[in-house]
Every structure is written in structure tokens, then in C-alpha cells.
Structure 1
Amino acid sequence: MTSTRDNAERADIFTRLASKTSKVLGHAWVFAAAVAVLIVWALTGPLLGFSNTWQLIINTGTTIVTFLMVFIIQNTQNRDSAALHVKLDAVMRELQVNNAKLYGAEDEGEKELEEQRHRFEEQAQADER
């Protein structure tokens, strides 16, 4: 049986791995390397007779990379979103905003968020007058 601490350490390891991976993979040189791999693959096509194996190599490689990157990107976006919410909550507290609906807005449905946005736009227009 694993403890809560073990689970937290595993999550922390994944977070660190995801952060470092997203930073590395976000560089222009990684994009250039991917383009270079595609060029090499394309150039080997005539040498290998555009065989099924030749096609399978690029299909398998891109599928695996795409599959893994989905999780890295989602983890990065989740952390960025959580950090943004913490910062916004701190700003709202500093400005003494007491609207409980605003503090929990990320938990609202799309319809409720649209209604709140519309109300704030109307208030802003009324304040300009």
C-alpha cells in the first residue's frame, strides 16, 4: 500500500519531468531537429522504395510523440491555469473584492460564465456613462 507522501513524491517527479520536458521541447532547435528528421525520412523514401516499412516508421514515430506530448501539454496548461487562479485570487483579495461567485468562477459552467461576462460588460458600459 502506498502512502500519501509516496503519491505526492510521484506527482512531484512527474511535474518536474513535465516542466523540464515542455521547456526543452519548446525551443526552436527542437522544431528544427524535427524538420531535419522529416527531411531525412523523406530523402530515404526513394532508397527504400517508399515501402510500407518506410511509411510505418514515420507513422509510428509521430503517433508516439503526439500521444506523449498531449499529457505534457495538458499538465503544463493545468499548472499554468492553477497558478493564474492563485494570483488572481491574491489580487482580488488585495482589492477587497467580496464577490464569492468570482472566486469560484473556474468551477462555473460555460453558460454561467457567459452570463457573468455579459453582466460585467453592462456594468462597465454603465460606469463609462
Structure 2
Amino acid sequence: MRANKTSGDKTGFFTKFTSRTAKILGHARVFAAAVAALVLWACTGPLLGFSNSWQRVINTGTTIVTFAMVFIIQSTQNRDSPALHLKLDALMQELHVTPLHAL
């Protein structure tokens, strides 16, 4: 079994994957592509008679994307939250140079 960490690398495959994926999916072009796909799908509705298969395409696609994005978003938030708290703690320590009871 291969180790997930090398001597100089502290981040695993999943962390790298979710970070890159979140960065890519956060771009406006990806959002525009998703909107274009929805418009294209909607335009094919009349051509395909709004069939059950036509509806299954969008239902299956959105289910898969939603399922994957839940894990990607949770992973990025799990990493961002501790970093944010450390920064807030440091900021609070800087702002509270003089204790309130000394005022």
C-alpha cells in the first residue's frame, strides 16, 4: 500500500483534488457552461416531446453533480474553518492589548 504523504508533502490526494476542483468550479465560465447546458437541455424538450428519458437526463446529471459537490464543499470548508479561527484569534489578541477591566 502506498503512503498518502511523502516526506515534504503534507496534503493527501483527496485534499489536492478537492482544492483544485473547487477552484475550477468556482469560475464564472463554469457557471456559464452550466447555464448553457440547461438552456440546451430545455430547448431539446419540444424536439423530444418532453419524454421521460429527456427528464431523466437532467435529473441524473444534477443528482450526480450535487452529490459530488457536497463532498467538495465540505472538504474545503473543513480546511478553511480552522484557518479562519486562527486568524480571528490572532486579530482578537492584537486588538485586546489593554484588558477591558484596566480601562
Does the alignment reach a TM-score above 0.5?
yes
Q: Gapped runs of 5+ residues in structure 1? A: 98-122
Partner residue, 1:78: 78
Partner residue, 1:28: 28
Q: Gapped runs of 5+ residues in structure 2? A: none
Deviation at 1:88, TM superposition (A): 3.7
> Which of the two has higher C-alpha Rg?
1
The letter for the 2-side match of 1:18 is T
Q: Which structure: greater helix fraction? A: 1
Higher-RCO chain (CA-CA 8 Å, sequence separation at least 6) = 2
Partner residue, 1:63: 63
The letter for the 2-side match of 1:6 is A
> What is the root-mean-square deviation in Å for CA atoms of aligned residues?
2.6
Contact kept? 2:18, 2:72, Cα under 8 Å: yes
Identity %: 68
Q: Does 1:6 align with 2:3?
A: yes
Q: Write the distance in 2 (CA, Å) between the matches of 1:17 and 1:76.
A: 10
TM-score, normalised on structure 1?
Answer: 0.63
User: C-alpha deviations, 1:33-89, integer Å up to 9, x for none?
Assistant: 000000000011111110000000000000000000000000111100021233344
